[in-house]
A and B are shown apart, each in its own frame.
Chain A
Amino acid sequence: MATKIRYQIIQIEVNEQGQIAEISHKLPLHLKVCTGFIARHTKGLTLANDLNEIGLLALEFNSRKQLLINAMVGFESKVEQLPDYQEVNIPLENGQLVTGYYMDTKQVSVSDFKPYVVSIYLRCELEVSIEAKECTTT
């Protein structure tokens, strides 16, 4: 049986303190609904402790028609729990853009700043499930 879940990965490089990075990512035509997301630091930072916030994320779906995700991105110094996807239910129009912004809010001096990468994982499905659900977001 063919699977219907596909993960879309959007990577953002942050090269300056306080940088506002613009996101523009075209989703494939066959994706019909976004059912979850995780936004997390991928590489670059090496800190001894966890940080609740290194940046803020806003994501719009269906080519800027809906601002549906607002989230803080944190830093995890150690591997602990299995990460959980934030559940959402966002119907996708065919092949439209996911757009938005990531803003670095990590408060360090300019000389201590190190470039890093943040990744956004969108869990999408190829078909809309039979049960029609209300659109849920963050």
Chain B
Amino acid sequence: MKNHKFQQVRVQVKDPGESVRFSAETDKQFARVRGIHISMPNDDVLVGTTLGLKINGTEIFDDAHEMRLITCGHQVAPNMKFFLFEENIEAGGSAIEGRVTDGGTMDQSSFPYEAKIYLWLVNDEPKTTS
């Protein structure tokens, strides 16, 4: 049985400043979400762009949470790119709801673009939280 999966959620942003809601479901075969990484077509569109995220109805990131805080450049090793959750975020078919809001700093020529959200799903033993 596989213990790791990188589940991708793609969100298309068509206009500067646009706010796009998205929803998905985590893969049922994995127990928890270990981390998140966002891949954007270029660094400039990250400026001021935010991601709100709820998994299984629990707020993980507020709508004003900047994407820059959960991403990094391509020089970082693949498994180190992820922002790791310190808590147990249940996967197993949990509902994912979110909102991507473009920072509005780029002109129309940069649009549309696709924000790719990668969730690192694992089956390892959950961490014990105090």
- Binding partners A and B: yes
Interface residues of A (CB under 8 A from B): 1-7, 9, 11, 38, 40, 42-43, 78-83, 117, 119, 121, 129-131
- Give A4's nearest chain B residue, CB to CB: B87
B66, A42: Cβ atoms under 8 Å?
A: yes
Q: With A43-B48, A43-B105, A79-B46 as given contacts, are A5 and B73 in contact (CB-CB < 8 Å)?
A: no
Interface residues of B (CB under 8 A from A): 43, 46-48, 58-62, 64-66, 68-73, 75-76, 80-83, 86-90, 103, 105, 126, 129-130
B72, A119: Cβ atoms under 8 Å?
A: no
B118 to chain A, nearest CB (A): 13
Q: With A79-B73, A82-B76, A82-B81 as given contacts, are A9 and B62 in contact (CB-CB < 8 Å)?
A: yes
A81, B130: Cβ atoms under 8 Å?
A: no
A42, B72: Cβ atoms under 8 Å?
A: no
B73, A80: Cβ atoms under 8 Å?
A: yes
